[in-house]
A = this chain, B = another copy of it.
Amino acid sequence: MPKAYEEIADDIRRSIREGTRKPGDRLPSEADLAQHYGRSVPTVQNALRLLSEEGLIDKRHGRGTFVRRPRTLAVRDNGRHQWEKNRARAPEATRAETGVTEHDTGLRVDDLVFYARYREIEAPDELAAVFGVRVGTLLLERTYRTRYAAESAPFSLVTSYLVREMIAANPDLLDETKEPWPGGTQNQLHTLGIEVDRVEERLTARPPTPEEAKALDLPAGTSVILLRKTSYDIRDRVVDVTLVTLPGDRTELLFTTSLERW
């Protein structure tokens, strides 16, 4: 026994994949679709919800249902880490010109709006273990939001953790009003004589929580990519842990792995 809402969804999905309906096209109203398929409105809504969850359509209250346009804007390249390291010892003027974010997006500093908040917290179990410190050790938690000047939602949620004691020798690093810091975290660590040796990034993906969907202005039918970046210095200490939440429909991550020559 074929399920009515799946049949309707299959039919519309096919029309989108085949190109009969193009990105940006408006679908008939739910009432019209109900009549066309000889079903009730809730059944049609059921079908449309399925397609919405798959990311194929956008429903807009009061306006209609539209075929979604695919999009990917920012590319985040792991070459950024070497790039940032090279900049860490450059003169301030050079560092202030362009940051990693502009390096990623190809935009200029003026196109972006930056926000940072610092807070001190006591290390919970998990972070204490990663940093190799006792539970309760003071950490500096730094929260960042960056968005396009033209848009209202940030394009990533970033939280970074540092061990307070490790960086306290430079009081400027505890002061959120010094952000955005020219040259980024690697330059900040450089002022303390810390050299970053390697960066580990762990990735997973899942549907957004309601809070994430709201903060990143994500439509239904999108995923978030969770990135956990751990920086090690040349003495193999963990010097920074950063958690990043990225919108799956607007982000591409690029990792290049160079191999040793034979």
Residue positions of A touching B, CB distance < 8 A: 13, 53-55, 72, 78, 81-82, 85, 89, 195-210, 220-225, 234, 248-249, 251-262
Q: Is the CB of B53 within 8 A of A207?
A: yes
Q: Is the CB of A207 within 8 A of B221?
A: yes
Copies of this chain: 2
Chain B positions within 8 Å of A254 at CB level: 200-203
Q: Is the CB of B259 within 8 A of A199?
A: yes
Tell me the complex Cα distance, A172–B200, Å. 38
Chain B positions within 8 Å of A197 at CB level: 258-259, 261
A19 to chain B, nearest CB (A): 15
Which of A204, A208, A225, A254 has the most CB atoms of chain B within a 10 A radius of its CB? Answer: A204
Q: Is the CB of A259 within 8 A of B82?
A: yes
Which chain B residue has the least Cβ–Cβ distance from A222? B206
Question: Which of B81, B203, B223, B234 makes the CB contact (< 8 A) with A207?
Answer: B223
Which chain B residue has the least Cβ–Cβ distance from A46? B49
Q: Is the CB of A55 within 8 A of B202?
A: no
Tell me the complex Cα distance, A196–B140, Å. 42
Which of A207, A220, A253 has the most CB atoms of chain B within a 10 A radius of its CB? Answer: A207
Which chain B residue has the least Cβ–Cβ distance from A56? B209
If the complex has contacts A252-B203, A253-B203, are A89 and B262 also in contact, measured as CB distance less than 8 A? yes
Q: Is the CB of B234 within 8 A of A261?
A: yes
Which of A55, A205, A207, A260 has the most CB atoms of chain B within a 10 A radius of its CB? Answer: A205
A262 to chain B, nearest CB (A): 6
- 7 tightest Cβ-Cβ pairs between the two chains A and B: A205-B205, A223-B223, A205-B248, A203-B253, A205-B223, A255-B255, A198-B258
Tell me the complex Cα distance, A204–B220, Å. 17
